[in-house]
């Protein structure tokens, strides 16, 4: 039997270290494949804690692996640290106040995610040393989860192949296990090239690339009726051809994100979207370049590991918040529309059935969730995507979520940024570190659990082997 409380003590004793790392990454707010300062800070911290660090893995400057110990079993702790563009916001401010207009912000809490995983890895390392436990703990520094699928590139290079299992977490508004399957996705640029001309004097001589983008978008909007309801298609016009309406736009670009429950379904929809793009180019007598950007696989949950993690979550309890934190959460909630709050409660009620209705009633009156959600009997499909999915195809993988934001807070919002740099986020982060570390140690000391988790994954794959959805010739890039 292992000492769960000792694991928690290690994290508590080093809580200031982990909190400072989180806050500095929050301040850096670096986006996909440009997390240079964040990655360097994590590497230096790992080295100071006795880890050997390999930088620039998988050909990505901001990806790394920190290792302690030797031999099997090999524990993979997954860390993220990338931010989102356009979400700059003052920490601890319950009104919308960007630090830099149009600047970046940690709207998905990856400053907390990476630092909480760091706490787990460090606690595992010290507990192993104190108790003479053999094995290896690795912290995988995974960049560009937002729009870059850094883990998929790392999986393509075989970096997870010799690990035995993976553990991760994600900041949320409630305490739960992420017993979900996610949507696989492709992200693709469609770059149209036409011919410039004077829009008034000689419009007949021009060939508008912007017209092609608009026609493509219209075509895809009609396509939505004829794809499976679980699929999602999103787009952003990344180049509208300039700021002069009296010039026929010679260039215009649109970036598409296509999602579906399975990679093959994404591929089928992608091919149809490509046909629409080519049709738009034909209609406007322009040319189109189709440039694959990134992709990720659907997540395969592992119920064996979920039972282990849930047991540790139950024993360790949930984060506890003081009155000042509750008061700040209440202020944040005044900025959140009732529709957002109700949507979250309805989701809980729908997923958990009759018990979910009771929990929704309790959560309705809580500013910060103090409830541990029940363990799901079977995985549900979430409409989002994560490159953790690619890891889960290779080794058994488990994730938890802890309360880091006020109830009703939407991820990818300024409200999430405001809270992610405060003690609310810190408490949820440190608690997640304890849950992950305790889960890892229990697995490490129980070879039969590792074998059972691996057998479950083999059964779910049913003879299918992992193939990275990113083509071999596509390299990681901040922008294309």
DSSP string spanning 297-310?
A: PPP---HHHHHHHH
- The torsion angles phi and psi of 108, rounded to 5 degrees, stand at -115, 5
pLDDT at 93 over 80: yes
Residue intervals in the chain for CATH 3.30.70.360: 184-296
Mean pLDDT throughout 327-343? 94
| Region of poorest pLDDT, from 56-65, 155-164, 321-330, 350-359 | 350-359
Instruction: Compute how many other C-beta atoms are within 10 angstroms of the C-beta atom of residue 479.
Output: 11
Give residue 362's pLDDT band: very low, low, confident or very high (50, 70, 90). Answer: confident
pLDDT at 356 over 80: no
The position carrying tokens 């209440």 is: 330
Q: What span, in angstroms and rounded, lies between the C-alpha atoms of 457 and 454?
A: 5
**Main-chain phi, psi angles of 352, to 5 degrees:** -100, 0
Q: How many helices (H) and strands (E) does the chain have?
A: 14, 13
Ranking 303-307, 313-317, 347-351, 475-479 by mean pLDDT, the lowest is: 347-351
Choosing among 3.40.50.2000, 3.30.70.360, 1.10.10.60, 2.40.10.10, the CATH entry for 184-296 is: 3.30.70.360
8 Å CB contact between 253 and 291: no
Query: Quick check: 371 pLDDT over 80?
Result: yes
Q: Is the pLDDT of residue 343 over 90?
A: no
Distance CA 189, CA 187 (A): 7
What are the distances in angstroms from CA 313 to CA 15, 309, 310, 334, 433? 19, 6, 5, 30, 11
Q: What is the mean pLDDT of residues 19-48?
A: 98
Q: What is the pLDDT of residue 62?
A: 98
Give the three-class secondary structure for 241: coil
Mean pLDDT over 290-307 rounds to 97
Give the per-residue pLDDT at 364: 86
> Is residue 349's pLDDT more than 80?
no
Instruction: Tell whether the model's pLDDT for residue 347 goes beyond 90.
Output: no
Residue 241, pLDDT score: 97
Q: Which band of pLDDT confidence, cut at 50, 70 and 90, is reported for residue 346?
A: confident
Q: Is the pLDDT of residue 381 over 90?
A: no
- Asked whether the beta carbons of 169 and 399 are under 8 A apart, the reply is yes
3-state SS assignment for residue 239: strand
The two structure tokens encoding residue 271: 């091919």
The answer to whether 168 and 78 are in contact (CB under 8 A) is yes
Q: What are phi and psi of 455, to 5 degrees?
A: -65, -40
Residue 213 has what pLDDT?
Answer: 98
Residue 194 has pLDDT above 80, yes or no: yes
- Name residues whose C-beta falls within 8 Å of residue 144's C-beta, 6 or more positions apart in sequence: 32, 33, 35, 60, 62, 82, 150, 476
Arithmetic mean of pLDDT, 36-48 = 98
**Which pLDDT value is given to residue 478?**
84
pLDDT at position 70, please?
96
The 3-state DSSP class for residue 378 equals: coil
In Å, how far from its chain's centre is CA 368? 22
Q: Rounded distance, CA 457 to CA 129, Å?
A: 30
pTM for the model: 0.95
Sign of CA dihedral 143, 146, 148, 152: positive
- Residues 4-181+299-461: name the CATH superfamily: Zn peptidases (3.40.630.10)
């Amino acid at each position: 039997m292992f000492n769960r409380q000792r694991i928690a003590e290690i994290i508590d004793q080093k809580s200031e270290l982990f909190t400072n790392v989180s806050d500095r990454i929050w301040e850096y707010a670096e986006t996909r494949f440009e997390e240079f300062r964040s990655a360097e800070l994590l590497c230096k911290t790992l080295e100071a804690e006795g880890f050997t660090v390999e930088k620039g893995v998988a050909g990505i400057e901001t990806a790394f692996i920190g290792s302690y110990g030797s031999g099997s079993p090999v524990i993979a702790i997954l860390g993220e640290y990338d931010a989102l563009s356009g979400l700059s916001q003052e920490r601890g401010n319950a009104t919308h106040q960007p630090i830099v207009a149009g600047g970046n912000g940690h709207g998905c809490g990856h400053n907390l995610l990476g630092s909480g995983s760091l706490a787990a890895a460090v606690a595992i390392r010290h507990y192993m040393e104190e108790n003479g436990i053999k094995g290896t703990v690795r912290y995988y520094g995974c960049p560009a989860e937002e729009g870059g699928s850094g883990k998929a590139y790392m999986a393509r290079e075989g970096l997870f192949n010799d690990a035995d299992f993976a553990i991760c977490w994600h900041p949320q508004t409630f305490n739960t296990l992420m017993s979900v399957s996610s949507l696989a996705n492709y992200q693709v640029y469609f770059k149209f090239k036409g011919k410039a001309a004077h829009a008034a004097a000689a419009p007949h001589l021009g060939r508008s690339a912007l017209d092609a983008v608009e026609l493509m978008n219209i075509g895809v909007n009609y396509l939505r009726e004829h794809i499976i309801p679980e699929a999602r298609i999103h787009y952003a016009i990344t180049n509208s051809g300039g700021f002069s309406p009296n010039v026929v736009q010679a260039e215009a670009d649109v970036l598409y994100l296509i999602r579906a429950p399975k990679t093959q379904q994404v591929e089928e929809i992608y091919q149809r979207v490509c046909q629409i793009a080519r049709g738009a180019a034909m209609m406007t007598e322009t040319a189109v370049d189709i440039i694959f950007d990134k992709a990720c696989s659907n997540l395969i949950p592992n119920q064996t590991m979920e039972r282990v993690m849930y047991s540790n979550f139950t024993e360790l309890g949930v984060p506890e918040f003081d009155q000042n934190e509750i008061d700040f959460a209440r202020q944040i909630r005044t900025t959140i529309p009732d529709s957002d709050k109700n949507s979250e409660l309805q989701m809980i009620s729908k997923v958990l059935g009759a018990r979910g209705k009771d929990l929704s009633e309790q959560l309705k009156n809580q500013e910060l969730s103090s409830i541990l959600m029940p363990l799901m009997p079977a995985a549900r499909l979430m409409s989002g995507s994560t490159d953790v999915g690619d890891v889960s195809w290779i080794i058994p993988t488990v994730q938890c979520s802890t309360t880091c934001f006020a109830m009703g807070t939407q991820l990818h919002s300024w409200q999430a940024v405001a809270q992610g740099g405060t003690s609310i986020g810190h408490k949820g982060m440190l608690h997640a570190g304890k849950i992950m570390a305790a889960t890892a140690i229990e697995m490490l000391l129980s070879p039969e659990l590792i074998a059972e988790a691996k057998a479950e994954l083999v059964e779910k794959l049913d003879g299918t082997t992992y193939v990275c959805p990113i083509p071999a010739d596509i390299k990681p890039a901040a922008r294309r």
